[in-house]
Copies of this chain bind each other. A is one copy, B any other.
Amino acid sequence: MRRTDAPPTMKDVAREAGVSLGTVSKVINGIPVGESYRCRVEQAIQDLGYHVNTYARGLKTNKTNCVALVMPSLRHPFFAHLTDELTACLMRRGYRSLLMITDFDPEAEQKCFDMVRQNKADGVIALTYSPDLEADDSLPIVTIDRHLNYSVPCVSSDNYAGGELAAEKLLSLGCKKLLFVRIGPEIRGEADRRGEGFEHKCRALGADYTRLILRDWETEAPIYRFLDQHLQGGVPEFDGIFCNTDDLAARVIAFLRARGVDIPGQVQVIGYDGIADYATGRYACSTIEQPIAQMAETAVEILLDADRVFSGERCALPIRYIPAETTRD
């Protein structure tokens, strides 16, 4: 007799229903089976409170219904929002998500990839910062905003167009002297195309622009120094600034305001991401919004719809401009 504290197995169900293992398996997997058999099995499953053992199934089928999400952090609202949408998408399709946080550490990122391999997830959706991760071609991977190598599909918003849009907006607001500020680690990422698009548009329209590129996190000091140097007698030299993230934009705005600069009176500032503050629903600055839900949907689609063949495909989704005074809600 089976101990009552151990969960029931298919064998128990089969015995209870008076059928064979194969029949139980068929019922569970929705394979057609004689009416009376199906009923007996379903009844037995109910009575015993049977649940399939995912690990036995995974062992046999080599399918786990599990996708690993590799994210740098959930502190940043963009990552959190993205993870939220990805998980929702995956659950809708009957997949579970295995969450891994790397804290921007390349070593941790590589470790995650190794873990994923050994955990036999069905796939990986990753947003990473290590320039040269060993992507395992044995496992389907989709990256977000990053090029691991050119056989790994990458989903992102249309960063180039976003940069162009930022330039257009600043110029159409009457700005004459533009500045592009970029912060963050060096990556072969789509996000770098924000600057390219911006510069291209500036050149195309014959606008005066400068760029300030910092290849590290958390080193804002040089930016503040630069801004100070270009603040002649309290009058800022630049009247339009494009920052590569919203939080950088917010800090730049705070810094300039502390120096007595009127924003947006004297200087226009545009950020990138389009995340509103949760509490107030307000945007900290004018911004280029990324279609997060659509990015998540697309990443999941590419990962799971194996019938479509993707080879190093890049998927650039449409962006949108949001002025600072906007409130979400």
- Residues of chain A having any CB pair with chain B under 8 Å: 7, 51-56, 58-59, 64, 66, 69, 73-77, 80-81, 83-84, 87-88, 91, 96-101, 103, 114-115, 117-120, 138, 246-247, 249-251, 254, 271, 275, 277-281, 284-285
Q: How many copies does the complex hold?
A: 2
Select which of B69, B73, B279 is within 8 A of A99 by beta carbon.
B69
A100 to chain B: which residues have CB within 8 Å? 87, 91, 96
Given contacts A52-B118, A88-B103, A96-B115, contact A74 B75 (CB under 8 A): no
A280 to chain B: which residues have CB within 8 Å? 247, 250-251, 254, 284
A99 to chain B: which residues have CB within 8 Å? 69, 83, 87, 97-99
Cross-chain contact A278 with B84 (CB below 8 angstroms) = no
Cross-chain contact B97 with A98 (CB below 8 angstroms) = yes
Which residue of chain B has its CB nearest to the CB of A329?
Answer: B251
Given contacts A51-B117, A246-B279, contact A84 B74 (CB under 8 A): yes
Show 25 A/B contacts (Cβ-Cβ < 8 Å), sorted by A: A7-B138, A53-B120, A54-B119, A55-B58, A55-B64, A59-B59, A66-B98, A69-B99, A74-B83, A77-B80, A80-B83, A83-B99, A84-B101, A87-B101, A88-B103, A91-B100, A91-B101, A99-B99, A247-B278, A249-B279, A250-B280, A251-B279, A251-B280, A251-B281, A279-B285
Cross-chain contact B96 with A96 (CB below 8 angstroms) = no
CB distance from A278 to the nearest CB of B (A): 5
Which residue of chain B has its CB nearest to the CB of A253?
Answer: B280
Which residue of chain B has its CB nearest to the CB of A94?
Answer: B115
